[in-house]
Amino acid sequence: MRALLRRPSPLPGFGPCLGLALAALGIVVLVPLAALLGRGIAMGPEALWDHLARPRVLAALWLSFRAAIGAAAISGMLGLLLAWVLARYRFPGRRLLDAAMDLPFALPTAVAGIALTALYAPSGAFGRVLEPLGLKVAYAEAGIWLALVFVGLPFVVRTLQPVIEDLDPAVEEASASLGASRGRTFARVVLPVLMPALSTGCVLALARAAGEYGSVIFIAGNLPKLTEIAPLLIVIRLEEFDYDAAAAIGLAMLAIALALIFAINAAQAWSRRRTGHA
């Protein structure tokens, strides 16, 4: 009887689907991660710590994740604003702006880095204006943040936009009719509904920013202990055939990224329980 009540599925049975999914997951994700973890186990904790405790490595890791977290926060704020404008307002050039949000997805990251460097270098169109004001973007940490916001912003916009489009304006009108101000309506009614999508977009932006390489190396200047990011240091160690050092840095990045993602997901789950949203 239970089998007769099951809904028909366009896909084949559960077994083949699960097998194909697990095979794809294993080949694409789990096997490379297992190889990286195996390399770290083979090195041993002492050798692993020896590679990671070097000042240059610590500085690169601290810069990469500091910039990634900051860029994800900025992407979250700007992405919320842009998604709201694109979903709620009609104005000349809206379709062009909407299409431009997908540009960082399609644009090679090296091209994005070259374009940003050309604009914000001391001789560039924007850098020529900012440099006399004491605002250095290219070949400084600010340039890294700018590149990471550029690649991370579309993740937030595209995650939030459909949720805002499905949000019923009648709920906001009901809140306003009960005497709530616009700010209170947004904070108490709209924002709790958007928080799951917003946090998901920020996590995606953070994950992209933590491992970003192509767009950053052109604008960063790549000065050791100043503007050198961890992915670049991994490439340098690979070019030196120091595979153990590269694997150690990769393991550290993996562990930190997983810890950040788990922390954000835990905060998101706590927020859902607190606000009563499933």
225 backbone φψ class: left, alpha, beta (φ>0; ψ -120 to 50): left
pTM of the complete model: 0.85
pLDDT lower than 50: segments of the chain:
1, 3-5, 278
- pLDDT at position 263 is 85
Residue 163 CA, distance from chain mean position? 19
pLDDT of residue 151: 92
Neighbouring C-beta atoms of residue 246, cutoff 10 Å: 21
Structure tokens at 137: 């973007």
Contact 193/140 with Cβ under 8 angstroms? no
Over the stretch 81-128, which tens digit does the pLDDT of each residue have?
999 999 888 889 889 988 888 888 888 888 888 999 999 988 888 989
What class does CATH assign to 38-275?
Answer: mainly alpha
CA angle 206, 18, 2 (to 5 degrees): 120
Write the CB contacts of 55 (distance below 8 Å, at least 6 apart in sequence): 225
Determine which helix (DSSP H) or strand (DSSP E) holds 221, and give its type and residue range. none
